[in-house]
Amino acid sequence: MVEKTIALIENRGAPEVPDWTEIAARNPGYGGTVQRFLDNSPPAREVYYAMMLSNASKGWTLDRRRTIIKLLNEASKGAGGASFPGFLANIRDLHLGAMSNEQRASLADISGENFNPVPDFELRPIAGPGRSWTVDEALKHRNYRKADFENGRSLFFTTSCGACHRLAGLGGDIGPDLTSIPNKFDDEYVLTAIIDPSRDISDQYGMFEVKLKDGSSKTGLVVEAGDKVSIYPPDHTAEPTVVPASEVVETKQLPVSQMPPGLINGLNPEELRDLMAYLMSGGNSQSKIYGK
Ligand code: HEC
């Protein structure tokens, strides 16, 4: 079965794109995700095969595992929902987990890709000069009609929001996806979240201190799965600590956000306006925010 299915993956044609144009047009917020998927569809059927094949315990060669990893790398260049990169990473982990250390080492050249989508446009340096922004001061610079969409999009990454948040399909997945901001929040809420992140923290994303049996303690975002507990440290480039659930003595939420304060203090008023307009548009250059 593995041999036959690997052959289907290797000899795949172009992805079959469903006829979802009407669905994409229904809602300017969520529809954008659907439209990006239609414009840049990943090999969805073969990704499904790869997931099912992770259950097969016989019939594997190193080349067949290589085919799977390459497929997932290619799929990550296509567009999907916010959880898509995480699903791909899970499928990859299932395959890597079934291999010996030696086999994993020989696929290390292709198995380390970051599946989170990265911007394909040029990032501009922050001009400044910055200041210590307060919510009241920031609210005085709301002439979003004058805002520059591309500059705001660039600032989303240069002020490092994109390291933790996804917006319009781009960025990381440590914090919530911000694409639906226009449907949920006003700009005062958003500015408060940026300037004073610890004022209001949802327990889904809060920072926790985890005490372990060996007397050590770890701080970060806690994800429990099966009998394993993963603790993701605040530095989003660092690897999580994974321990068996039985090692955990106590978990308590800390009254601080994982989101660092002061991220926008390098921006001048026009830059803050551009970033805010980008956020309040949900990453959509055709938004009413820009006076269109
Ligand atoms: C180190 C990771 C990190 C960075 C960098 C970061 N955030 Fe966050 N952000 C989070 C997390 C985690 C949460 C959810 C927990 C909380 O509210 O503190 C959050 C919450 C938010 C919220 C509230 C969302 C809601 O649903 O209530 C907004 C708005 C936000 N961030 C915007 C931004 C912007 C804009 C930037 C860049 C200037 C940014 N964040 C940078 C991690 C980050």
What are 164-216's pLDDT values in tens digits? 898 988 888 778 889 889 989 999 999 999 999 888 777 677 788 999 999 99
pLDDT at 144: 96
Among protein residues, the one whose CA lies closest to atom 28 of ligand 1: 193
pLDDT band, very low/low/confident/very high, at 28 (cuts 50, 70, 90): confident
| pLDDT in the model for residue 150 | 96
Which amino acid residue places its CA nearest to atom 5 of ligand 1?
Answer: 161
Question: Each residue of 30-81: pLDDT tens digit?
Answer: 788 898 899 999 999 999 999 999 999 999 999 999 999 999 999 999 988 8
Question: CA-CA distance, 292 to 280, in Å (whole number)?
Answer: 14
CA distances from 231 to 24, 55, 132, 260 (A): 37, 27, 32, 18
Cα–ligand 1 centroid distance for 3 (angstroms): 45
d(CA 80, CA 37): 6
Q: Is the CB of 191 under 6 A from ligand 1?
A: no
What is the pLDDT of the chain when averaged over all its residues? 90
Mutate which of 116, 126, 155, 164 for ligand 1? The one with the most ligand atoms within 8 Å of its CB, which is 164
Closest among 76, 67, 72 to 6, alpha carbons compared: 67
224/227 Cα distance (integer angstroms): 8
Q: Which contacts qualify for 162-166: CB closer than 8 Å, 24 or more apart?
A: 162/119, 163/236, 164/236, 164/258, 164/259, 166/82, 166/116, 166/117
* CB 207 near ligand 1, within 6 Å: no
Ligand 1 pocket mutation, candidates 133, 165, 253, criterion most atoms within 8 A of CB: 165
Mean pLDDT of 130-135: 96
pLDDT in tens, 226-258: 888 988 887 766 788 899 999 999 999 888 887
Q: For the residues 142-149, what does the mean pLDDT come to?
A: 95
Number of the ligand 1 atom closest to the C-alpha atom of 190? 29
Count CB neighbours of 193 within 10 A. Answer: 21
Is residue 142 lining ligand 1, measured as CB closer than 6 Å?
Answer: no
Q: Is the distance from the beta carbon of residue 254 to the nearest atom of ligand 1 less than 6 Å?
A: no
Apex CA 87: angle with CA 85 and CA 92, to 5°?
Answer: 95
Q: Are 119 and 157 in contact (CB under 8 A)?
A: yes
Write down the pLDDT at residue 236.
64
CA–CA gap between residue 74 and residue 96 (Å, rounded): 17
**Predicted confidence (pLDDT) per residue in 73-122, tens digit:** 999 999 888 788 889 989 999 999 899 989 999 999 999 887 877 787 88
Residue at token pair 């925010």: 289
Atom from ligand 1 closest to the CA of residue 160: 5
